[in-house]
Amino acid sequence: MKVIVIGGVAAGPKIASKIIRNCPEAEVTIVEKGEFLSYAGCGLPYYISGEVKEQKELMATAVGTVRDSVFFQNVKNVKVLNHTTATKIDRKNKKVIVKSKDSIESSLDYDKLALATGANPVKPPIPGINLKNIYSLHGVEDAEGIKEKLSQHKAIDAVIVGGGLIGVEVAEAITESGGRVTIVEMLPQILPMLDPEIAVLVEKHFEAKGVRIMTSTKVMGFEGKDEVQKVTTDKETLNADIVILAIGVRPNVTLAASAGLEIGKTGAIKVSSQMQTSDPDIYAAGDCVECQNRITGKPCFVPLGSTANKQGRVVANNICDNNDSFPGVIGSSVCKVFDFVVARTGLGEKEARDAGYDVVTCLAPAPDKAHFMSTMKPLLLKLIADRKSRKLLGAQATGPGVADKRIDVAATAISAGMTVDDVANLDLSYAPPFAPAMDNIITAANVIRNKIDGLMDGITSAEVKTKMDNNEDCVLLDVRSPAEFEQMRIEPCVHIPLGKLRNNFDKLPKDKEIITFCKISLRGYEAALILRNAGFKNVKVMDGGLLMWPYDKIME
Amino acid sequence: MKVIVIGGVAAGPKIASKIIRNCPEAEVTIVEKGEFLSYAGCGLPYYISGEVKEQKELMATAVGTVRDSVFFQNVKNVKVLNHTTATKIDRKNKKVIVKSKDSIESSLDYDKLALATGANPVKPPIPGINLKNIYSLHGVEDAEGIKEKLSQHKAIDAVIVGGGLIGVEVAEAITESGGRVTIVEMLPQILPMLDPEIAVLVEKHFEAKGVRIMTSTKVMGFEGKDEVQKVTTDKETLNADIVILAIGVRPNVTLAASAGLEIGKTGAIKVSSQMQTSDPDIYAAGDCVECQNRITGKPCFVPLGSTANKQGRVVANNICDNNDSFPGVIGSSVCKVFDFVVARTGLGEKEARDAGYDVVTCLAPAPDKAHFMSTMKPLLLKLIADRKSRKLLGAQATGPGVADKRIDVAATAISAGMTVDDVANLDLSYAPPFAPAMDNIITAANVIRNKIDGLMDGITSAEVKTKMDNNEDCVLLDVRSPAEFEQMRIEPCVHIPLGKLRNNFDKLPKDKEIITFCKISLRGYEAALILRNAGFKNVKVMDGGLLMWPYDKIME
């Protein structure tokens, strides 16, 4: 069996290696247009920051073996044609036409073909886009260019166009290397996979670290003579010694499309759950294919190295007649933003509403370990669930605390179709250095259960702000201690510490809406229950408490 | 509705608070024999080590409010009788007889009764057990005694009897405070919830930190005049300025048993999944009750604060006629041992075999983050699965890496009844600072799939050692690089680096068993596949590679 694999970065080498493991007699050839094989593209921001010292570490296995052509030939028995471009697929005769470095064309026969052609960074036709020192972060060469510039003088002005995952990671890397960074994002928030109230916390953390965030801002052009010097936006003009384009990537489907393979709605190659294209002898995997969202069943384009690896295995198994299928993704992602972890999985709040769910959410800020441990750090966890089925649909978390653990548990629970009741009863590992006795995700699941069961009526800080701005006739009730109140508060509000609430009902109007809160709204919840029981009919709890209030506060 | 809750540490306060939230008109009284309410018993080792500075932090809420009787009365509207012992339950007349500090008896009526009487440390009738400075770590008073002793002179000799979770945590705490610690354990290993090859790694780490581990050792007596001075064992006599008994706890069922409530096989109170005892008006939760193992359906006794909280909620919901049930536990636990995290969930290998499963396991040592990150730490993950159903049954992890995240994902997957195929396709969050592109649990699940699908035949290091000791006619094949081989190796073995294997088949006998390995046995797996394909019939891969070889090695 002759197998040709086009693309040698992530999915490609995985497909090739796994085929050889399954069917050692197969003849497998990887065609790669660049020099490098199997390098960790997602490590590039850490190469820029200096966290990764040498380029070759990104290309080595965990035990330090560099995965070059010789390695693939000797160890894996896979032939590698690097510096070689596949120019055409002749499906009828089952041939791939390739062109070598020195432009010599040849043709390779295949029984099965696997496409792992990846994705290319979006490079919009903005004036000046071809000036020097404007980079995408797509390959080792880009990273080298950025490092070179940073090594010349540290305090460079860097403008990052696009506030997605890559933009955010590069912003941190350049800031840590001494650069002054501005992120310019066209949308009203950075990290569009996050719900707005989570994204705003990340933006504030960036600003605290000296990174300027310009949202709802459009880049109009790049100026400079030979090298970029300025970035013009619809708001102002920014100095720029260097520009990183991180607007996103587009699946590289040229070869597939010209061969007449079906392209999906997202613009990526359409594949079955067996990772088979519309031609049964051609498979595809990685950043060039369309995935299915496991929750909604809808096609999506979420290029990630972790997904590429899983899909590669499925391709190899099916090529070797070991039936295997890829169940799709649920949109899990994580990134580090200085001292914050930012992670999410499943459907966001709006996505869930758009998909027709009766959405109920909660914002649970809590310590990520037993609150008495000095290693404890705050973590904000948002859960999104369906009122009717009680199923968990999504989770988002940020803060200095351990977010990725809770998001991975949520990802597992969502994949299994668990309800919030199931999640609340999970037997998660507990000891004070690792979690509170009630893990953050269990507490959050219980808040959702309370809401669904009618024990609690939540209101978001954004809704409260609107009421305040419109001078609506409601009472904001702060039930924190006097010391906490002195230190920081929002006004106008009524302040009655929780312990004194039962003796002060006369200070509150029975006929008005009362919105209770405390630091995190746990005492706020207790207060709402006390008031309800005392005959107050219209009581709501502000989600996430003062900790999640993103607007002005009066500080001591 | 009058509700009496007996016990005020973990489950009790939870039951009381949740009842008031559900039914604010209920009259709830907590009867607690000690002074303290709702303190975090699991924080005591960290109070000893000084990580927790003040006793009251263990009694405070996350925002620093101390949960004393006044707090419960004012905030929760729960009456607290502390320094009060419940002496008898009169089920016929629905009364609890209590005795106050000054021995005054009285009787309290109840409509519903909840028992949260906890557990007591086992105190075996060993000669000298009542000498001074022999402590259990059961309450704040014990912790104070130990701290006092440590403050007198730091370099005390401490003997810890019992190598379970509490013994291990206290061993770390006393060592960090300057004490010299010996753990004496009757069983052949510490931490009996771990499989032996995982426990041995923890023992080695303890020894590297200066803690002496004596397994298979029985304490015969304590000697000293007034204060303990020596611990005699069946092996040798140990100096001891202080002794911590950490042999385990027994459920406190005296009250329940004398009231004729059904006691389970484990010696704990038998409850339904609604947490109802054999008397429909009496519920129980926390360390005094028997749980059900969700995987085997068998009763078990696993006292943990995290479980107590969940059960407390179920009790309160059912008392308030909101039908709720507790699904049981799967034996998740985690502890910190100096630089190691030790965590486990589900069934251990032996437990799984005893339960009748066709067990397949893997040992996967791997970096816990992308291997090129300087923050990366090694982690060993063991998975236990059922060959027939392909279901994940258990997981254990240890090392400096992030073990708790993978164990919590495994706990969620096991609760959902996921197969290893499901686990291998989980969309877990990925970025280099948090995980390898293929998360450790995904890699491990793939190894199990390979084994079940006949691609790989594993052999444990213990089995290999037995073969070597018996001079069995097999070949141990080390496929690491020459540099790695020079540094450390086991003998006798044949050394052929993986890249040269295809040209050196003649150095290996086709008719003998060949056992391949490398550092972690990934290259070992590649080697086995190459040999199989070359016609070698009897090839096995040593699980976990040299990293998991716990016996003698030849070091450079």
Instruction: Give me the domains of chain A, ranges plus CATH numbers.
Output: 2-120+250-319 (3.50.50.60), 134-247 (3.50.50.60), 339-452 (3.30.390.30), 458-555 (3.40.250.10)
Instruction: Give B-chain residues touching A46 at CB under 8 angstroms.
Output: 370, 372-373, 432-433
The verdict on a CB contact (< 8 Å) between B334 and A60 is no
Task: Assess contact for B412 and B345: CB atoms under 8 A.
Answer: no
SS (H, E, C) A325-343: CCCCECCCEEEEECCEEEE
Task: Answer whether residue A95 shows pLDDT above 90.
Answer: yes
SS (H, E, C) B486-551: HHEECCCCEECCHHHHHHCHHHCCCCCEEEEECCCCHHHHHHHHHHHHCCCCCEEEECCCHHHCCC
ipTM attached to this prediction: 0.95
Q: How far is CA B284 from CA A430, B13, B38, B313, in A?
A: 21, 13, 17, 11
Residue B308 backbone phi and psi in degrees, to 5: -55, -45
State how far the Cα of B497 lies from the Cα of B501, in Å rounded to an integer.
6
Q: In angstroms, how far is CA B268 from the centroid of its own chain?
A: 19
Q: Which residue in A has a C-alpha nearest to residue B311's C-alpha?
A: A425
The verdict on a CB contact (< 8 Å) between A422 and B415 is yes
- How far does the CA of residue A556 sit from the closest CA of chain B (Å)? 19
Residue B63: per-residue pLDDT:
63
State how far the Cα of A446 lies from the Cα of A436, in Å rounded to an integer.
14
Among the options A42, A300, A474, A493, which is catalytic?
A42
Give the A window 43-72 contacts with B, CB below 8 Å: 43, 46, 51-52, 57-58, 60-63, 65, 70-71
Cα–Cα–Cα angle for B523, B526, B531, rounded to 5 degrees? 125
Give the B window 257-286 contacts with A, CB below 8 Å: none
If chain B, 556 residues long, is cut into consecutive pieces of 10 residues, what is the mean pLDDT of each piece? Answer: 94 94 92 79 89 83 70 84 95 97 95 96 94 90 90 89 96 94 98 95 95 98 96 97 95 97 98 98 97 96 93 97 96 97 98 97 94 94 98 97 98 98 98 95 96 91 91 94 92 92 92 93 89 91 89 84
- How far does the CA of residue A2 sit from the closest CA of chain B (Å)? 17
Task: Answer whether residue A413 shows pLDDT above 90.
Answer: yes
In this prediction the pTM is 0.95
Residue A153: per-residue pLDDT:
78
Of chain A, the percentage scoring pLDDT greater than 90 comes to 81
- How far does the CA of residue A295 sit from the closest CA of chain B (Å)? 12
Residue A533: per-residue pLDDT:
86
- How far does the CA of residue B470 sit from the closest CA of chain A (Å)? 32
The verdict on a CB contact (< 8 Å) between B42 and A432 is yes
Peptide bond into B492 cis (omega under 30): yes
For chain B, the helix, strand and coil percentages under 3-state DSSP, each to the nearest 5:
30, 25, 45
Instruction: Give B-chain residues touching A306 at CB under 8 angstroms.
Output: 427-428, 430, 435, 437-439
Instruction: Give B-chain residues touching A25 at CB under 8 angstroms.
Output: 533
- For residue A218, the tally of other CB atoms under 10 A from its CB is 14
Instruction: Give A-chain residues touching B518 at CB under 8 angstroms.
Output: 63
Give the A window 453-492 contacts with B, CB below 8 Å: 453, 455, 480-481, 484
Q: Which two structure tokens, joined as six digits, stand for B244? A: 């911590």
The verdict on a CB contact (< 8 Å) between B430 and A294 is no
- How far does the CA of residue A471 sit from the closest CA of chain B (Å)? 31
Q: Which residue in A has a C-alpha nearest to residue B57's C-alpha?
A: A372
Task: Answer whether residue A500 shows pLDDT above 80.
Answer: yes
- How far does the CA of residue A340 sit from the closest CA of chain B (Å)? 12
To probe the interface with A, which of B28, B176, B412 has the most A CB atoms within 10 Å?
B412
Choice between B69 and A114, residue whose per-residue pLDDT is larger:
A114
The verdict on a CB contact (< 8 Å) between B427 and A418 is no
A187-232 tens-digit pLDDT: 999 999 999 999 999 999 999 999 999 999 999 999 999 999 999 9
Residue A38: per-residue pLDDT:
67
The verdict on a CB contact (< 8 Å) between A431 and B331 is no
The verdict on a CB contact (< 8 Å) between A431 and B40 is no
Task: Assess contact for A221 and A232: CB atoms under 8 A.
Answer: yes
DSSP character at residue A475: E
A28-48 tens-digit pLDDT: 999 999 876 767 778 899 999
Is the Cβ of A422 closer than 8 Å to some Cβ of chain B? yes
Task: Assess contact for A72 and A65: CB atoms under 8 A.
Answer: no
B183-237 tens-digit pLDDT: 999 999 999 999 999 999 999 999 999 999 999 999 999 999 999 999 999 999 9
Any catalytic annotation for residue B42? yes
The verdict on a CB contact (< 8 Å) between B370 and A42 is yes
Residue B138: per-residue pLDDT:
82
Nearest by CB to A533, which of B24, B57, B520? B24
Nearest by CB to B437, which of A63, A305, A446? A305
The verdict on a CB contact (< 8 Å) between A431 and B532 is no
Instruction: Give A-chain residues touching B327 at CB under 8 angstroms.
Output: 422, 425
Residue A59: per-residue pLDDT:
76
CB neighbour list of residue B352: distance below 8 Å, 6 or more residues apart: B359, B384, B386, B393, B394
Q: How many CB pairs under 8 A join A and B?
A: 300
Average of per-residue pLDDT across A444-461: 93
Instruction: Give A-chain residues touching B483 at CB under 8 angstroms.
Output: none
The verdict on a CB contact (< 8 Å) between B429 and A408 is yes
Instruction: Give A-chain residues touching B20 at CB under 8 angstroms.
Output: 529
Cα–Cα–Cα angle for A220, A223, A225, rounded to 5 degrees? 160
State how far the Cα of A302 lies from the Cα of A291, in Å rounded to an integer.
7
Select from B388, B393, B397, B378 the least CA-distant residue to B441: B397
To probe the interface with B, which of A408, A450, A480 has the most B CB atoms within 10 Å?
A408
